[in-house]
Chain A
Amino acid sequence: MAEIVLEHVSKSFGSTRVIEDLSLTLRSGAFTVLLGPSGCGKTTLLRMIAGIGPATSGRVYMDGVDITALPPGERNVAMVFQSYAIYPTMTVRGNIEFCLKNNKVPRAERQRRVAQVARTVGLEDYLDRKPSQLSGGQRQRIALARALVKEPAVFLMDEPLSNLDAKLRTAMRSELIQLHQALGATFVYVTHDQTESMAMADHIVLMNEGKILQQGDPESIYRDPDNIFTAQFIGTPPANILPLPGSNFRLGFRPEKVRFLASEEALAYTRPGTVVTREMLGVEVLYKVRLPEGDVMVRSACFQYRAGDTVCLGVAGEDLYFFDENGLRIRSGCGELIRRLEEGTL
């Protein structure tokens, strides 16, 4: 367990600034997910913590100790790479115990720790095989075992599940959650998959273009987005964003908050529309509805509508988000905006 603090870190590659003056605290023992589209700097941040891609400026602390200049091998961290980065010339056992040998761990203890870790990840029967003889999922486990055997204070994971097929990915996801619960170590997990982040994180740090746009627990990030980017990045399908005629503001709402209204009903935001497409998901249906202001996605348990039907949609006032011209959430004065919406003066 260890707390990681990044203080005013920046990173440039040549003349390209990837991260500029970013500060972040990663809680000890938490499962923190760095989330964002590719190129947002999340992996760069992870590599700074690992020490393999040092920050151009700024400082990194672990439990209050400045580790900015410490070489990667002397930081108490382990990393699982997206490509696994397994040593192809060594056996599975060789891969797992390589770090222990480098750190001159006695033979008996080495064997005990390798055996224990191999049991944890289910590789006992493959210890003497070469990685090339194993499947993608098994190689992923080697990478995981190699990190586990170090017993580090911090686990760094760079999209570790992205090379697995969907079924294996879901299985590994819950295994990683259990592992985190069992070890209680600090996990820092990088992904571009918002579903993965919602499922695993205690704390999500959402990034774009080298900046942190919002951080918090998954629920608050989902329910209470600070800006349009967060509202649209989190959730499948993402939040609907529509212009407010007669103002520079924009309006947002989650697809599942939309209700189909009978002709005489009215909510804060009420609009007529036409169903464009209908996707049957089993428990729900996903409709794409064309409104005068644009297309919106609707997630509903009402199955009766078909493409081409004319419908009336409504969203309650408390489910509406308002954003200013810069895409930032408007937190005060929303009551006034809702009243004007209901009056039809917006």
Chain B
Amino acid sequence: MRPGRKLPRPSGRKSSGTGLVPYLLVGPAMLLLLIFVFYPLVNLVYLSFFDYNLIREKTFVGLKNYEVLFFVKTDFLDALRNTAVYTLSVLFFSLLLAVLFALWLEPDSRINRFLQKSMFTPYLISMVSCAYIWSWMYDADSGILNAMLALFGLPLSRWLNDSDLALFCVAAVAVWKSLGYYLIIVLASIRSIPAEILEAAALDNTPPVRKFFRITLPMISPQLFFLLITITISSFKVFDVVRVMTDGGPGNATDVLVTYIYRYAFQMNARVGYASAAGTVLLVILMILTYFYFQVLSKRVHYQ
């Protein structure tokens, strides 16, 4: 380039002078976001400060809804605890089983490909169907699970009617349904580990367990981290499986945050303001979780 000559502008950046074009281009998307995401979010938080039942005038009550939520009633804290227990169980068993099955199905063979596809099938079925099928299997009198226990002469269980067991029964269905999907992600990431690295480990005389914890696990950690976030978030928002199988019962044993919100907003005299406060709490929890994961955990995860 000779001195004194102007550099040509990068292509596609004509000097229109206004600078309005980019905003026009992102406008439609922004408008949709505003209407369907930001407005409901803001409205949710706004409603949580009111006493409102969809018919009467809204009356401002300040933080009273939150006070009732945390200090007057105990059912919200129960729902919160149930949600946490549910999330931890789903998270733990989903990741554990996905990794174990992936290690098992890792060698490529016809039977393994068949098993992998079979395990994916539940993911294709609607959650409501799954929940119904499992309710029948869990049935204390005519379900297959008790029939099998009886066959081996084992003591029968009341499954969904047992308040100590019901939450875990529901969690098991959620794990069963999505395991095939998690398995595919973990399997793909295990298979993407370069063969030479495993060969180098073999030459380094690495025992199998140590090879798993020092090489395989760190190398698939980005995918596990991704699953950790998505499973946590989806478990905190669980609704359909609980609604179909137990509807929060027996007692409040399987009541989770979303069924709680649903019950107060649409079943018990439409206490929309109160339900909004619960929704706001859920929103804040999810925001904190997401932030926490990205900030703290991402530093410990290896990205290639």
Contact = CB atoms under 8 A, between A and B. Distances in A.
Contact of B204 (A82, A89, A102): A102
Contact of B304 (A52, A73, A88, A102): A88
Interface string B191-204: 00010110111111
- Most A C-beta atoms less than 10 A away, residue of B205, B207, B219, B221: B205
Interface in B1-18: none
A316 to B, nearest CB: 49
A51 B199 CA distance: 9
A73 B199 contact: no
Interface residues of B, number: 20
B209 to A, nearest CB: 11
A50 B203 contact: yes
B302 interface: yes
A73 B200 contact: no
B219 A73 contact: no
A289 interface: no
B73 to A, nearest CB: 48
Interface string A115-159: 000000000000000001000000000000010000000000000
B203 A52 contact: yes
B202 A72 contact: yes
B25 to A, nearest CB: 36
B206 interface: yes
Contacts of A132: 304
B270 interface: no
Contacts, number: 69
A249 interface: no
Nearest to A75: B203
Contacts of A89: 214-215, 218-219, 221, 302
B203 A78 contact: yes
B206 to A, nearest CB: 5
Interface in A49-73: 50-52, 71-73
A269 interface: no
B202 A71 contact: yes
Contact of B202 (A73, A88, A103): A73
A83 B203 contact: no
A206 interface: no
B205 A99 contact: yes
Nearest to A156: B203
A81 B302 contact: no
